[in-house]
A and B are shown apart, each in its own frame.
Chain A
Amino acid sequence: GAGVSQSPSNKVTEKGKDVELRCDPISGHTALYWYRQSLGQGLEFLIYFQGNSAPDKSGLPSDRFSAERTGGSVSTLTIQRTQQEDSAVYLCASSIGRVAFFGQGTRLTVV
């Protein structure tokens, strides 16, 4: 596709369940970012992938969060044993140079 695609667009899950969020970056983009944004708050950096380098995981809030990027393309963010405070919009962005393009996000609600 022409832009960054994220799925699902909305996800409601029960507390304690695991969820997987998917990001399809723009073809050829070597860098991929995951951010989290709670209602009315700024972007919270989670993780950054750049080519074949080890990812920068410094923003992951706990060991319940993990992400992988297979074949340098699609990325999956996994949240295990979800908690209510995990409710937020999860945004993915990709870039090939110095400009990032964002997907429309996945709105996660933990009930």
Chain B
Amino acid sequence: RKEVEQDPGPFNVPEGATVAFNCTYSNSASQSFFWYRQDCRKEPKLLMSVYSSGNEDGRFTAQLNRASQYISLLIRDSKLSDSATYLCVVNRGGGGNKLTFGTGTQLKVEL
């Protein structure tokens, strides 16, 4: 089983729609969680951290469910510019502090 798993998509949604992605992780000791965004032919960049109580940044809401070992990203009022691949990232903590990236979920927002 992969450490971090995501549905690759693509998710094709109309402009203005609400879309949600989930990501599951296998290591229950994982400590930190993030969503990164990767535009076509560009490098990944941090979108937002995910906090235990859930957090919001404008149209984006991230949530963590430790019991079920998944994190989610909700995008409201989708824009064409939201089209990208969204990567789930987990930090397993411990001495190594290694970040593990999921392979990403592709979102296409259409007119």
Interface residues of A (CB under 8 A from B): 31, 33, 35, 41-43, 45, 48, 50, 53, 56, 91, 93, 95, 97-105
Contact = CB atoms under 8 A, between A and B. Distances in A.
Nearest to B98: A48
B57 interface: no
A42 B34 contact: no
Interface of B: 8, 32, 34, 42-46, 49, 85, 87, 89, 91, 95-104
Contacts of A95: 99
B100 A98 contact: no
A99 B46 contact: yes
A93 B101 CA distance: 12
Given A48-B98, A56-B98, A105-B43, A99 B34 contact: yes
Contacts of A45: 100-101
A99 B87 CA distance: 13
A55 B48 CA distance: 27
A50 B99 contact: no
Task: State the 10 A-B residue pairs at the shortest beta-carbon distance, nearest first.
Answer: A42-B103, A102-B43, A98-B32, A42-B104, A43-B101, A98-B91, A102-B44, A100-B99, A104-B43, A48-B98
Contact of B96 (A50, A97, A99, A103): A50
Given A98-B34, A102-B45, A43 B87 contact: yes
A103 B45 CA distance: 10
Contacts of B44: 43, 91, 93, 102
